[in-house]
Amino acid sequence: MKKYLLILLLISSGAIARAQAISFYDLTNLANLSNGEAHNYLTLGKVFKHLYLEEKDGKKLERFRSVNPKQKEQTVTIGVNTVLSSGGVLRTVTYTTRDPQHIYNLIAQAKRNRMEMRFEGADADNNIYIFDNDFYHVAMYVSNKHGNGLIRVDQKEFVAY
């Protein structure tokens, strides 16, 4: 009986894990990759498909959408970056979803990854969660009105002492 319960638990947890197209680790990993590498990372797993490429302020922004039609829409945007005077590039990754539970799952993952929560609060439109560490600044928003969410991962300049 215990064996069957374990199998049922593994199957149901796999179904839950598949409902969300991306993990917190994936989002921070994408912030470390070049646009080409991030494009491949998102499309090779066949979880996201490329929607469009847009040039804005001299930067090529790419938007990807989750493939599974049974899921609520999830998108990832890459290509937003800041070029430092040293020649380094700090990247930003944006994730949106129409299911606020995805954001709450990612908040739990951020806490497990030892990200420090700097702020938890709300404004008229969103519940807001701000996380930070030496490498990333992460802002998470869950809409109070529309039932969607957004995460913005900003890569930080790391200065070694």
pLDDT band, very low/low/confident/very high, at 160 (cuts 50, 70, 90):
low
Domains of the chain by range and CATH?
22-155 (3.30.1460)
Q: φ and ψ at 4, to 5 degrees?
A: -70, -40
For 154, the token pair is 């900003």
The answer to whether 135 touches 53, Cβ cutoff 8 Å, is no
Give the residue-averaged pLDDT of 8-13. Answer: 36
The 10 Å Cβ neighbour count of residue 42 is: 24
What value, to the nearest 5°, has the Cα angle with vertex 147 and ends 32 and 52?
45
The single-letter code of the amino acid at 5 is L
b/e map 81-102, b = 16+ CB within 10 Å: beeeeeeeeebbbbbbbebbeb
Position 4 pLDDT exceeds 80? no
For residue range 18-75, what is the model confidence (pLDDT) as tens digits? 468 899 999 999 999 999 999 999 999 889 999 999 998 888 999 999 999 888 999 9
Partners of 147 in the β-ladder: none
Start-to-end Cα distance in the chain: 56
- The pLDDT, as a whole number, for residue 2 is 38
- Please, are residues 126 and 151 in contact by the beta-carbon 8 Å criterion? no
Q: Report, in this order, helix, strand and coil percent for the chain, each rounded to 5.
A: 30, 40, 30
Report whether pLDDT(112) > 70. yes
Confidence of residue 159 (pLDDT cuts 50, 70, 90): low
80 or 9, higher pLDDT: 80
Q: What is the mean pLDDT of residues 83-89?
A: 89
| pLDDT averaged over every residue in the chain | 86
